[in-house]
Amino acid sequence: MFEKDLLAGKVILVTGGGTGLGRVMALRFAELGARVAVLGRRPEPLTEVVQAIEAKGGEAMAASADVRDAARVDAAVEDVVTRFGGIQVLVNNAAGNFLALTETLSPNAFNAVVGIVLNGTFHCTAAVGKRLIAQGTGGCILNIVATYAWTGAAYVVPSVCAKAGVLAMTRALAVEWGRYRIRLNAIAPGPFPTEGAWSRLMLPGMEEEGKRRNPTGRFGDPPELANLAAYLASDAASYINGECVTMDGGEWLMGQSFNALTQLPPEQFQALAEALRPRKSGP
Ligand code: COA
């Protein structure tokens, strides 16, 4: 659905770009003409992504940093600007998460997740934002959040708090940096099978239940998310600012009380609804 050069002329930095959804987005951005920098802690996956992009004739680089380390992030962003001559788009995708009973969490465990998701997003946003302002070119920052940023969710409280903060930061900066033509938006993905998420969050035997709970009866396909990110990063979305786009097949809406009835076959639902219908009295 996109022109091949949709993202031509853009330099896009993807945090956590070596694996999972970050990797899929990085490859898609390059396919659509962007020059891509992938940032992460471990060099091996980053190198693999860079090589995969270069093998297809694209341009890419690896930027090594832990997003929790503001000074390293700033140096990595400077490397990107030096190599590519500027930067236009940041995708804050790097995340940390695990399932735990909240009463068992140590302060360090809470900080580990919040440090990556909330502080890390701030470090990258500040490092890229100040350069975008100095460039005067405008730009785009895309934050990957989750629907539990507004619903909350049990057993992932550090991530819930951090994603809620990132969503608030998205909306605050959408207003504050609008004057610089810097757009901030978020994507709230539902379940997309990736090794990182599944190994940490998918309990054994819960996969079928996860699909059953989704109105579409399936999980997301990572390229679907990458296409949404490409659109939001592109100039085609230049009037979308401060928005959060949910891509979850409608999963988060399922909590509404009558929705559980969709698990019944339609005939069974109809029979139950008929049974509740008041009978007309008299002739
Ligand atoms: N349950 C409870 N506590 C946990 C935990 C778990 N599953 N995993 C880690 N912790 C605690 C540790 O015990 C430690 O606390 P302590 O010092 O009080 O013992 C604290 O969290 C930090 O752990 P550590 O392993 O040193 O952190 P790290 O910085 O190396 O790793 C994580 C950060 C824990 C978020 C790790 O899972 C990670 O690096 N994730 C990145 C990838 C990811 O999660 N992607 C998300 C895909 S959805």
* pLDDT reported for residue 242: 98
Mean pLDDT (the chain) is 96
Q: Using the atom order of ligand 1, give the atom closest to the CA of residue 196.
A: 47
Ligand 1: residues with CB < 6 A are: 95-98, 100, 106, 108-109, 112-113, 116, 196-197, 200-201
Q: Does residue 283 register a pLDDT over 70?
A: no
* pLDDT reported for residue 52: 98
Q: What are phi and psi of 46, to 5 degrees?
A: -65, -45
- Mapped onto helix, strand or coil, the DSSP state of residue 219 is coil
Instruction: Dump pLDDT digits (tens) for 177-215.
Output: 999 999 999 999 999 999 999 999 998 888 999 999 999
The whole-number average pLDDT for the span 78-91 is: 98
Active site residues: 148
Q: Terminus-to-terminus CA distance in the chain, angstroms? A: 60
Please tell me the CATH superfamily of domain 11-276, with its number.
NAD(P)-binding Rossmann-like Domain (3.40.50.720)
Instruction: Dump pLDDT digits (tens) for 222-251.
Output: 999 999 999 999 999 999 999 999 999 999
Q: Which of 153, 133, 156 is nearest to 86 (CA)?
A: 133
Sign of dihedral through CA atoms 15, 167, 227, 255?
Answer: positive
Instruction: Dump pLDDT digits (tens) for 105-159.
Output: 999 999 999 999 999 999 999 999 999 999 999 999 999 999 999 999 999 999 9
Distance (Å, rounded) from C-alpha 258 to C-alpha 271? 16
* pLDDT reported for residue 260: 84
Distance (Å, rounded) from C-alpha 158 to C-alpha 139? 30
Distance (Å, rounded) from C-alpha 147 to C-alpha 249? 12
- Which residue has tokens 């997301």? 220
